Amino acid sequence: MKIKVTTLGAKAAGELELADDIFGLEPRKDILHRMVRYQLAKRQAGTHKTKGRSEISRTGKRFGNQKGGGTARHGSRRSNIFIGGGRAFGPVVRSHAHDLQKKVRRLAIKHALSAKASAKELIIVDEAKMASPKTKDLRDSLAKLGIENALVVGGAELDKNFSLAARNIPNVDVLPSVGINVYDVLRRHTLVLTKDAVADLEARFK
């Protein structure tokens, strides 16, 4: 499939042929859903913790008579039924990550790219470089392209001035081509790829 290439100044810069096996697939929601769940579960901290019965610093001495007290025969104040006792089956520190096959993860990236292409939410720019790290200049350039909420993916290395200028713009993320992922692609309205990023992606998946 062919797509028009533009500059940051919204000027035409030719056309580019995109690989159909990467940008021309029929998006599958189930694969995208599995990948997003995989990413969010993997980054979840899992540091929630409550103290169990064995971790409470309270006496273990029997505090009542075995018989005649008119209550149950409790043997410890550390029990979970008392105020200040340990919690039964409380959360523990653990990893929430689960496995997902590598071929599914690779396929999910292709479907995310194809979803943006089919929805006309993909823009190709010749390069993402700026002469100075001025946020106002970059905001004006993005406004010319009609971009308000976007993920910009550059080549193997990002232009320092472009990264600094984009840092203060809300709803605009900048990533190198090696850092592209399904969650960041889908969470932004528009995907902006440089020609170097397209070349890197096609080389990776071929």
pLDDT at 77 over 90: no
How large is the average pLDDT for residues 128-140?
Answer: 93
The pair of structure tokens assigned to 166 is 């984009």
pLDDT confidence of residue 13:
86
Residue range(s) of every CATH 3.40.1370.10 domain in the chain = 2-44+97-205
Tokens 């170097």 identify what position? 196
Tokens 């523990």 identify what position? 92
**Mean pLDDT of the chain, nearest integer:** 93
Burial of 148 (0-12, 13-18, 19+ CB in 10 A): middle
pLDDT confidence of residue 19:
93
pLDDT confidence of residue 62:
78
Determine contact, residues 16/3, Cβ cutoff 8 Å.
Answer: yes
| pTM of the predicted structure, to 2 decimals | 0.84
How large is the average pLDDT for residues 175-190?
Answer: 95
pLDDT confidence of residue 147:
93
11-59 per-position pLDDT tens digit:
988 999 999 999 999 999 999 999 999 999 999 999 999 999 999 998 7
pLDDT confidence of residue 59:
79
* Domain 2-44+97-205 coded CATH 3.40.1370.10: yes
